Amino acid sequence: MIKLIRTNSDNPDFVTLVRLLDADLAKRDGDEHSFYAQFNKIAKIKYAVVAYEGDKPMGCGAIKEFATDVMEVKRMYVSPEARNKGIATLILTELEKWAAELSYTKCVLETGKRQPEAIALYEKNGYRQIPNYGQYTGIENSVCFEKELTGKQQIQAIS
C-alpha cells in the first residue's frame, strides 16, 4: 500500500530522494546538468509530497509558486524499483489537489527530452505542451507543459 505525506523540503526522505533524482539527471543531461541544477534548489520549498511503501520512501514531488494563480511542479522522482506502479501519478495528483486547495488554477512544469517516461507521465495526466517559458526559452532539451486545475482537483479540494 502506498502512503502519501505532505511535507516540505526539510523532510530528510524528500532530500534523499532529490539527491537520487539529481544523480539520475546528471547522467541523462551530461554537460547541460549544471544549467538545470541552478533552477532546482530545494531550500524553502513549502509544498512537497513523499510516497512511502510501508516505511520506505519511494518517490517525491513538489510545487512552488510560479505566478499569482500558477504553481510549478518540481522535483518529481520515483525510485527505479518502484516504477510502473502508478506512484508518480499518485504524487502528481496529490500535488494538483494541494495546489487547488491553495486556490491556484494551473500547474506548469519543465522536463527534459531525455526523460521520455516523464513526458509520457505528464501527457497521460492531462498536461499539454506549451512554448518553453522563462529560463527554458530557447533551450533545445527542455519541454514545458501546463494543466488547468478544474473539475476533479477543485472538487477534491472542497471535499
CB distance 4 to 90 below 8 Å: yes
**How confident is the model at residue 53, as a pLDDT?**
95
pLDDT for the residue numbered 104: 97
Report the pLDDT value the prediction gives residue 24, as an integer from 0 to 100.
84
Pairwise CA distance, residues 65 & 46, whole Å: 10
Q: Are 40 and 28 in contact (CB under 8 A)?
A: no
Is residue 157 within 8 Å of residue 101, measured between CB atoms? yes
CA distance 123 to 132: 16
* Bridging pattern class, strands 106-112 and 70-78: parallel
Beta-carbon contacts of residue 152 (< 8 Å; ≥ 6 apart): none
The residue type of 157 is A
pTM above 0.85, yes or no: yes
How many structural domains is the chain composed of? 1
- DSSP bridge partners of 150: none
Q: Which helix (H) or strand (E) holds 16?
A: helix 12-29
Q: How far apart are CA 75 and CA 53, in angstroms?
A: 19
Contact 105/147 with Cβ under 8 angstroms?
no
In sequence order, what DSSP letters do the residues of 98-140 get, joined into one string?
Answer: HHHHTT--EEEEEEETT-HHHHHHHHHTT-EEE---GGGTT-T
Structural domain boundaries enclosing 38: 2-158
**Coil vs helix vs strand at 68:** coil
CATH number of the domain at 37, please.
Answer: 3.40.630.30
Q: What is the pLDDT along the chain (159 residues), one digit of tens a residue?
A: 899 999 999 999 999 999 999 888 877 666 665 655 555 566 689 999 999 999 999 999 999 999 999 999 999 999 999 999 999 999 999 999 999 999 999 999 999 998 999 999 999 999 999 999 998 999 888 999 999 997 555 545 544
Q: How far apart are CA 57 and CA 78, in angstroms?
A: 9
